Amino acid sequence: IMWAAFTVIVLVAAVQGYPSGAPESRCDDPRPKHPGSEEITADKITHLQLKQSARDFKNGDVIEVTLVSTGAPFKGFLVKAFVDNGNEVGGQFLPGEGVKVITKCSAITHNNNNPKQEVVLKWKAAVAQGTVHFKATVVENIKKYYIGLESH
């Protein structure tokens, strides 16, 4: 009976995904790894937008990044910053309500799986100057996620 109870607990944890946000291991592969989930690529995304307040920055600038759905709400996300001058991280997202910062790869994720229509994030530049863009993976539910959403 103990083994059966342990198995049930492990299965429930696996099916729940990451209700408190993506782990650091998702820096290398942003897919949520939910069993049996459908991956929808950027070219097929119509109801999600990732907007940024500026592309060019100088040290200390804060850029606002907004993830919004005009359709079904989403339950989770992972947004990563990419500075357009090579491998340099270039900055970090700022902590805020409902989010968890992943410093390893200049990323940010949800810290709960409540339905969301919009999240507003802030990224702070930490290098002299440059250009930045953002990419998101968005989880609508345990069975469907969107990958490769790029900012504009």
- In the chain, what are the domains? 2-150 (2.60.40.4060)
Using alpha carbons only, what angle is made at residue 90 by residues 86 and 59, rounded to the nearest 5 degrees? 125
Element counts in the chain: helices (H) and strands (E): 1, 11
pTM for the full model? 0.84
For residue range 52-92, what is the model confidence (pLDDT) as tens digits? 999 999 999 999 999 999 999 999 999 999 998 755 578 99
Three-state DSSP state, 147 = strand
Q: Would you say 38 and 144 are in contact if contact means Cβ atoms under 8 Å apart?
A: yes
The pLDDT confidence band at residue 128, using thresholds 50, 70 and 90, is: confident
| Separation between Cα atoms, residue 122 and residue 133, nearest integer Å | 13
- The residue that leads in pLDDT, 131 or 19, is 131
Alpha helices in the chain (DSSP H): 2-16
Kindly give, in sequence order, each residue whose CB lies less than 8 Å from that of residue 139, ignoring residues fewer than 6 positions away.
17, 32, 34, 74, 75, 76, 77, 145
- Average pLDDT taken over every residue of the chain: 86
